[in-house]
């Protein structure tokens, strides 16, 4: 079991590192160009590897970590739905190509959103200020799930929201990679600051990118 843990840790670190580097490149270059698409694919691959390995590691004997499990699921949901919306949008009949996978991802995201909020509520009740972190993540995840519900129920159209959904979720996953980097490499008394600082900065960048690339009437 220890050997499996060691292998998964290597995959987790390698995936996270690839995601951090490729995500930074994808965010910095002109959107839609070949370098952006390539970096985006590498970012997706790296973050999926990091997320899936986190989901497994957090359930191994002697390595149980509920919070790592929740964040791993949240990251997996963001990356898969961010990439999935691209594939759906490329179809001429985008409004009619939703598959069981899309509904499963919706249920998956809803489950982890509620789980994160549950972790926050139980922790705050016991006076643990760190549990503000899963609360923030849970509310963000819930907002993404709501967008998915609007798409799947026909209340919004793929052609109208695909770019907004793609930007916010890819950036959300990139925030996760920077957060992990900070938490592992920086040690301070109030660790919750390191968990939320990238989210604060990332939210500003998301707003900037949405205003730049998404038509104002569609950005919401």
| pLDDT tens figures, 192-214 | 888 888 889 999 999 988 888 88
pLDDT in tens, 55-105: 999 999 888 899 899 999 999 999 999 999 998 888 766 566 788 999 999
Q: pTM for the whole thing?
A: 0.90
Contact 170, 26 (CB under 8 A): yes
Calpha distance 19→29 (Å, rounded): 15
DSSP 94: G
* Counts for the chain of helices (H) and strands (E), in that order: 7, 0
Tell whether the torsion through CA atoms of 181, 183, 188 and 192 is positive or negative.
Answer: positive
Rounded to 5°, the CA angle 36-40-42 comes to 120
Calpha distance 202→56 (Å, rounded): 27
């Amino acid at each position: 079991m220890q050997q499996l843990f060691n292998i998964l840790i290597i995959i987790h670190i390698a995936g996270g590192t690839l995601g951090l580097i490729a995500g930074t490149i994808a965010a910095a270059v002109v959107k839609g160009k070949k370098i952006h698409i390539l970096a985006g694919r590498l970012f997706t691959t790296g973050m999926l590897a990091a997320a899936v390995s986190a989901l497994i590691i957090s359930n191994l004997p002697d390595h149980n970590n509920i919070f790592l499990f929740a964040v791993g699921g949240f990251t997996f949901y963001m990356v898969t739905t961010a990439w999935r919306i691209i594939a759906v949008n490329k179809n001429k009949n985008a409004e009619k190509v939703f598959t069981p996978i899309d509904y499963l991802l919706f249920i998956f995201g809803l489950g982890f959103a509620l789980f994160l909020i549950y972790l926050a509520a139980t922790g705050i009740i016991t006076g643990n200020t760190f549990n503000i972190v899963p609360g923030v993540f849970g509310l963000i995840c819930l907002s993404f799930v709501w967008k998915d519900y609007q798409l799947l129920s026909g209340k919004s159209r793929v052609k109208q929201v695909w770019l907004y959904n793609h930007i916010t979720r890819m950036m959300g996953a990139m925030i996760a990679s920077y957060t992990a980097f900070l938490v592992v490499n920086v040690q301070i008394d109030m660790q919750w600051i390191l968990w939320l600082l990238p989210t604060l900065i990332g939210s500003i960048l998301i707003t900037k990118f949405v205003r730049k690339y998404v038509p104002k009437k569609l950005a919401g």
